[in-house]
Amino acid sequence: MGSGGAAGGGFGAPAFIPGTLVKIPDGITLDKVADNFDANKFGVNLPANMTSAQFGQVLKGEKTMDLQTQELMKGLNPGKFGPMSQPYQSAPGAGIIFDNKSQTGFGDFLKQASTGQPGHDWIAKAQALEAQGKYKEAAEVLSDPKAPFANIPGAPPNVYKAMLEAKAGGTDQKAADKATLDNLGDFLTDASVGAPGNTILVEARNLEKEGKFSEAAAVLNSQLKEHPDALVSTYTANMAAKAGNNAAAVQNIEKAIAMAPNNTALYDKAGELYQKAGIDGPKVFVNGVKPSFDTQPFIEEGRTLVPFKAIAESMGAQVKYEANTQTVTMLRDGKTVEMTIGSNLAKVDGKEVTLDVPAKIVNSRTVVPLAFVGKSLNSEVSYDGATQIIQVQPNVAKAASSTTP
């Protein structure tokens, strides 16, 4: 079908298992999926203590999963069951660094976490100065060459120093975040002390120091199977890139973003790895997940156009296509969006809206303006020209993100 949309006048059957991005094969009903669920066939990684039959019971509402199992499901299947609630299990303080835009509280966290450690006195002094608004002086304390962390670029105290320098206006916060992600081996081995998988992270860092990048990536992949973590996945991407395996590097950074879609630094890292892999053109992420497009997004008259069916379904919308009128329609949370091929007029809940660029057919697929679709379905759309990455994030007030069933 030219549109790539649903046939007939009504909306098509759900493309995914409700509340997930697990694809339902054509011709199979949801009841049949639940009755005969096969994790391998559906590309779902289950925890060691769960069988396909048990997950089928979850889908039918006969069984529930505790929060820990839900979180593990999200981590083992990045993006398919929504973002992780705690994507930094190996380094608990990382959430303060990357998800809190003001980076407040990291000094307090680090001071408490370093109690009894060699660098505690420097950290405590810096934190006291930060509390007084003396960011430059606090950073200078952490710059002491006698400090035990002085020659370890990614050590948490040096991450803290970079944050303080940014607050003082000496550097950009993006540069500080990049420095952290570029030196994740140091950061994670230090920040993960007492957390799951520290031994494996130390092993990977030692392999990295020896220049054994492929071996380090393999060790980290074993860690991710038991303890999914956005930063460990990013560290794996770094090792794969250093080993020259750009495809694996891209795959791992995309998994990291799916676990922690609010971490803007990960998108910058992805842009860097895409460039290294020679991947050009717009890259679209919907709540951290990169939809699979059979026609690649492109920019026309300053607007990004994407395949209609794939983008709508990735946002949790039902779709239909009327061949007689060449009209595509999306329905989500009671909101209806209609567009006609070649027309600059669209309708949102029956009200006409003028489009900068109309929907059109390219390579036998209907493509639509992404920004209009995103905003019409209550999402924020942002574009980074440097990385060519477009983020579509659900508005918090009416978040329509996926959740574990």
Report the alpha-carbon distance of residue 90 to residue 72 in Å, rounded: 13
Q: How many domains does the chain have?
A: 3
The CATH number covering residue 245 comes to 1.25.40
Rounded to an integer, the average pLDDT of 287-308 is 92
Residue 131 lies in a domain: yes
pLDDT confidence of residue 104: 67
Q: Do residue 140 and residue 276 come from a single domain?
A: yes
Verify that 66 and 120 share a domain, yes or no.
no
Is the pTM higher than 0.75? The answer reads yes
**Residue 100: its pLDDT value, please?**
59
Please check whether residues 132 and 276 belong to one and the same domain. Answer: yes
Q: What are phi and psi of 361, to 5 degrees?
A: -105, 125
Confidence of residue 11 (pLDDT cuts 50, 70, 90): confident
Q: Do 242 and 139 have their domain in common?
A: yes
CATH code at 322?
A: 3.30.457.10
d(CA 182, CA 353): 45
The gap from C-alpha 99 to its chain's centroid, in whole angstroms, comes to 12
Mean pLDDT for the chain? Answer: 89
Residue that the structure tokens 């676990």 belong to? 259
Residues 126, 261 share a domain: yes
Q: Which of 261, 281, 301 is the last residue of a domain?
A: 281
Among 247, 189, 179, 243, CA closest to 211: 243
pLDDT tens, residue by residue, 339-392? 999 999 999 999 999 999 999 999 888 999 999 999 999 999 999 999 999 999
Residues 293 and 210 in one domain: no
Write out pLDDT tens, residues 95-135: 777 865 555 688 888 898 888 889 999 999 999 999 999 99
* CB count in 10 Å sphere of residue 316: 23
Percentage, residues of the chain above pLDDT 90: 64
Mean pLDDT of all residues in 6-10: 46
